[in-house]
Structures are given as structure tokens and as C-alpha cells.
Amino acid sequence: MIPFGTILPLLLDRFACLANMDEEYDAIILGTGLTECIISGLLSVHGHKVLHLDRNSYYGGESASLNLKDLFSKAKKGDPPAALGSSRDYNVDMVPKFIMANGRIVKMLVQTDVTRYLEFKVVDASFVRQGKKIHKIPANDSEALKSGLMGLMEKRRARNFFTYLQKYDEKDPKTFNGLDLKKVPMGAVYEKFGLKQDTIDFIGHGLALQLDDSYINSVAYPTVEKIGLYADSLERYGKSPYLYPLYGLGELPQGFARLSAIYGGTYMLNKEVDSIVYNDEGTAIGVKCGDEVAKGKFIVGDPSYAQDKCRLIGTVARAICILNHPIPTVEKEASCQIIIPQSQVGRKSDIYISMVSSSHCICPGNFYVAIVSCQVETNNPLQEMQPGFDLLGPIADMSLFTSPMYAPMDDGTANKLFISRSYDATSHFETTADDVLSLWRRITGKDLDLDEKIQRPGMEDQQ
């Protein structure tokens, strides 16, 4: 399979040549990150006339996948050493994330038929750290019994916990066992089954993928749904609940860009946006690019295009590590996720590790790419990520990037400027899916129906 990123710019350049800035569009999208490209594709298939601009010469924005030469250039490290192999054999993610196999991103891919542009492989395993060891994450009662995370008595308690969740029916009070999960906090559920802190850590952070421990004091049902999503995704393919596209995550935004173009969307790369244009009432009505102005009924963009309308919510650090061996403690796996829960290392937020390899066509056959990510809590991100580095073994090369995380100051419904959130440190796309659905709701005033059947152009003639 040819990486889609090698042919998409050529295909979309054809559409860009036909573009006319001096006309009115339903939507103007700024930036080609995954969030913006999903929104662009969805708007296009729902009949909106879309103009999509990016100041960069490549698709993906902050979530692009780079070859080795571009990675070293971005890290300001000069030319990569020959010992690392050919630059073009690398497709390194700048925002490393896996896709939940039964999650909402997959539903968006299937609903829009973007899957026809992509090929996926299952991530081999998901792990959680406890003490100085890592263990495969159990997601049901049978796996809990085999797990090295717990002693015999704790395994029984965990089995009872998972069995209870499997039998729980929100419409049948007989299954509540004294706990209405839509009313009681998650902490009460843990207490009911007598689970220890280490077990709570892997359930809350490894299965439910909670970002911090505040969820323990919140209503239990959303966490239970997240645990169910993990278990359903794991059951779908067996090895782990995660998928990863061949040739890197940069293929995802390009797939949605292609979708938008098929439905009439217009794309322009290398298009610097000088300013967003507002009317006298303060409503966004277009964008100015040099002497040209494109008008739109609303604007969608990543935070870099409207930083004056955003607030800083933190900083994320990502260390891209090239290894000439798999992670020692998971040496049988060619790809994996490792989560280090915050309480295990005295932090306020988790540390995430994702590892992929040549089996996903992102590096030469004798190398692996492991990326350690965390939200920065001190002025020394390298030291903060040290628990992750300790698991990797010898590192052939490392590039460190820190990025500010922004969120919009308002929901955009008043001024028609809808801004996405920056990508966080998590090694999965669940928070990105939250942002896509939030944007869609704010733009259209209704929830996105992921079960809706979308008919591609030309299919009418086939019926």
C-alpha cells in the first residue's frame, strides 16, 4: 500500500488551482490537524461548501507524521546520522496516539468511508506500571485472575467488580446491588468491592483512561461506560483495544481531507492567513490572506490561528526516542502502550509511552520508535519523564518537544469562530473525539449522529 501522504498533496493541488478566494463559503477551516480535517470532512458530506487553508506545506498540522530529516530539522539538530537508516523510511508522529478499536474516531472513519484510504494494524498490547514493573492491563474477570498486578484475594475482589459491571443494567434496579451508578461517585463503587489503590490506578487510568483522580468523586456511570468501551474494543481484536494506521497518524487527517475534496471542499496549502475578518458586531465573517479575502458563514480553526481567543491550560512534553531494540520489558511486542499512573510516581497526571515499529511502516526494520509524553508540572520536563525513559533501555536518538496547550475562551456560538483544543499528552484519541463532537455540537446546534448512513457522490446511479 502506498502511503496516502505521498499522493494526496498532488491530488489536492488540483483542487486548489480551481479555488477562488473571492467568494463566499459556508465554512472556512484553518489548519489541517486531525480535528480540523475531521470537521472539514463531516461538514462537506453534510452539504456545506468548505474552504480549508493551512500555512504549512504539508497536511496534519501539529498531528503530522514526519520523515527523519524533517524531524531533525524541526528539532533543530542538523542532519540525521546515517546509522539511523534512510530518512524516507520514517513516518514519525509528532502527536503519538492510538485509536480505540470500538471508539468514536473509528465510527467517524467507518461512517464517512475514510477507511477505504487507510490500512490499520492492532497494537500488540497495553500495559500499566505498578512499582517498578509493568503488567498487561486486564479488562475482564478472566484476565484479572491471571494478572500479576494483584494477589489472590485482590484478584477475587477485582473479578467480583468486573462481573458486577458486566451484569449491571441501568434499566433494571435488581442489578444495582445497592449502587445506582448514575447517582453514586466512583469511589463508592471501589469501596463496595474493597479494591486497593494499585487496582484503582489501573482501572481508572489504564481502562477508563481518566486524566486525573478527580473522577473518583464524580458520578460513576461515565467511568463505567469508559471501562465498557475498553473491554468491547479489546474483545473486537483480542491483543489490545487499540489500532494504529500504517505509515503513521498523518494518514488520518489526509484521509478526511480527501473525503472533503470528493464532496467539493477546496484546499490550499502554503496559504498564510494574515487575519480573521470581523463585522461591526464582532462576528467572524472571513479571513484575509494578502490582498485576498474569503468570506464564510463561520470559521473553524486550531488555536494557532486565533491565540487571542484562547487561554493557556498547560504544556505538554513529548520525547521521540529511536531505539534499535524493542522496549526490554515487552520485548515480544512490536507495538504497545504503557501508562504510568500519576500516583505511582508522585505526579498530578500520568506519563504515557507509545511504541511502534516497522510492522506499521514508520521506521526501518531494525528500529523502533518509542514516544514518552506527559503534561509538564515543573521546569524540568526531562526529569519528569525519567520514569518513562527508565523502561526504554538504551536510546539511539532522542528529540524533545514541548508545546503549549490552549483551549478556547468561549464556545464560539456568539462570534461564529469555533476553536479546537490543543492535543494533550494522552496516548489515545478519546479526548480528541470529545473535542470533535463538542465542535460539531457548537457549530450545528445538534449532536453528531455516528449511526447515520452517508451516501457518497455517484452512488445514486448504482441503486
Per-residue model confidence as pLDDT tens digits over 381-429? 999 999 999 999 999 999 999 999 999 999 999 999 999 999 999 988 8
pLDDT for residue 453 is more than 60: yes
- The distance between the two most distant Cα atoms of the chain, rounded to a whole number of Å, is 72
Percentage of the chain surpassing pLDDT 70?
Answer: 91
Architecture (CATH level 2) of domain 68-125+311-405: 2-Layer Sandwich (3.30)
Give 210's strand partners.
Answer: none
- Report yes or no: 230 and 240 within 8 Å, Cβ to Cβ: no
Q: Taking Cα atoms as reference points, which of 410, 173, 196, 405 lies closest to residue 284?
A: 410
Beta strands (DSSP E) in 41-95 are 50-53, 65-66, 92-93
Q: What is the mean pLDDT of residues 70-88?
A: 95
Local confidence band at 10 (pLDDT 50, 70, 90 cut-offs): very low
Q: What is the mean pLDDT of residues 106-112?
A: 89
Question: What sign has the CA pseudo-torsion 374, 378, 382, 385?
Answer: negative
pLDDT of residue 243: 94
Cell numbers for 111, please give them.
Answer: 461512517
Please indicate whether residue 369 or residue 110 has the higher confidence score (pLDDT): 369
Q: What is the mean pLDDT of residues 435-446?
A: 96
Please indicate whether residue 167 or residue 150 has the higher confidence score (pLDDT): 167
Local confidence band at 18 (pLDDT 50, 70, 90 cut-offs): very low
Please indicate whether residue 384 or residue 14 has the higher confidence score (pLDDT): 384
| CB within 8 Å of 410: residues ≥ 6 apart | 309
Percentage of the chain surpassing pLDDT 90?
Answer: 68
Cell numbers for 222, please give them.
Answer: 461515565
Q: What is the mean pLDDT of residues 272-301?
A: 94
pLDDT for residue 128 is more than 80: yes
Local confidence band at 380 (pLDDT 50, 70, 90 cut-offs): very high
> Where does CATH 3.30.519.10 sit in the chain?
68-125+311-405
Q: What is the mean pLDDT of residues 194-223?
A: 92
Local confidence band at 462 (pLDDT 50, 70, 90 cut-offs): very low
Q: Taking Cα atoms as reference points, which of 385, 423, 431 lies closest to residue 404?
A: 423
| CB within 8 Å of 17: residues ≥ 6 apart | none
Instruction: Output the CA torsion 144→148→151→156 (10° steps).
Output: 10
- The DSSP secondary structure of 344-400, one letter per residue, reads GTT-SS-EEEEEEEGGGTSS-TT-EEEEEEEE--SS-HHHHTHHHHHHH-S-SEEEE
Residues 355 and 221: their CA atoms lie apart, in Å, by: 31
> Where does CATH 3.50.50.60 sit in the chain?
4-63+250-310+408-444
Please indicate whether residue 343 or residue 396 has the higher confidence score (pLDDT): 396
Mean pLDDT lowest for which of 9-13, 225-229, 275-279, 385-389?
A: 9-13
Cell numbers for 240, please give them.
Answer: 489490545
Please indicate whether residue 399 or residue 63 has the higher confidence score (pLDDT): 399
Residues 315 and 294: their CA atoms lie apart, in Å, by: 33
- Report yes or no: 348 and 212 within 8 Å, Cβ to Cβ: yes
pLDDT of residue 140: 60
Helix axes 152-167, 221-237, angle to 10 degrees: 100
pLDDT of residue 204: 93
Mean pLDDT over the full length of the chain: 89
Residues 102 and 235: their CA atoms lie apart, in Å, by: 9
Q: Taking Cα atoms as reference points, which of 392, 399, 316, 315 lies closest to residue 354?
A: 392
- 3-state SS, residue 204: helix
Topology annotation, domain 4-63+250-310+408-444: FAD/NAD(P)-binding domain (3.50.50)
| CB within 8 Å of 377: residues ≥ 6 apart | 347, 348, 349, 384
Residues 142 and 118: their CA atoms lie apart, in Å, by: 34
Q: What is the mean pLDDT of residues 215-234?
A: 94
Question: What CATH code is assigned to 137-237?
Answer: 1.10.405.10
pLDDT for residue 14 is more than 80: no
Q: What pTM does this model have?
A: 0.88
φ, ψ (nearest 5 deg) of residue 406: -120, 155
φ, ψ (nearest 5 deg) of residue 138: -80, 145
> Where does CATH 1.10.405.10 sit in the chain?
137-237
pLDDT for residue 336 is more than 90: yes
In one letter, which amino acid is 319?
Answer: A
Q: What is the mean pLDDT of residues 64-71?
A: 94
- 3-state SS, residue 134: strand
Mean pLDDT lowest for which of 18-27, 76-85, 214-223?
A: 18-27
Tell me whether strands 292-301 and 417-419 are parallel, antiparallel or unpaired.
parallel
Local confidence band at 192 (pLDDT 50, 70, 90 cut-offs): very high
Q: Which helix (H) or strand (E) element contains residue 38?
A: helix 34-45
The alpha-helical segments, DSSP class H, found in 197-312 are: 197-201, 221-237, 251-262
Please indicate whether residue 62 or residue 412 has the higher confidence score (pLDDT): 412
Q: Which helix (H) or strand (E) element contains residue 112?
A: helix 104-112
- The DSSP secondary structure of 150-185, one letter per residue, reads S-HHHHHHHHHHHHHHHH--TT-GGGSTT--TTTSB
pLDDT of residue 9: 47
Residues 366 and 277: their CA atoms lie apart, in Å, by: 51
pLDDT of residue 460: 43
Q: What is the mean pLDDT of residues 434-449?
A: 95
The alpha-helical segments, DSSP class H, found in 194-352 are: 197-201, 221-237, 251-262
pLDDT of residue 463: 38
DSSP state of 85: -
Mean pLDDT lowest for which of 7-11, 279-283, 300-304, 370-374?
A: 7-11
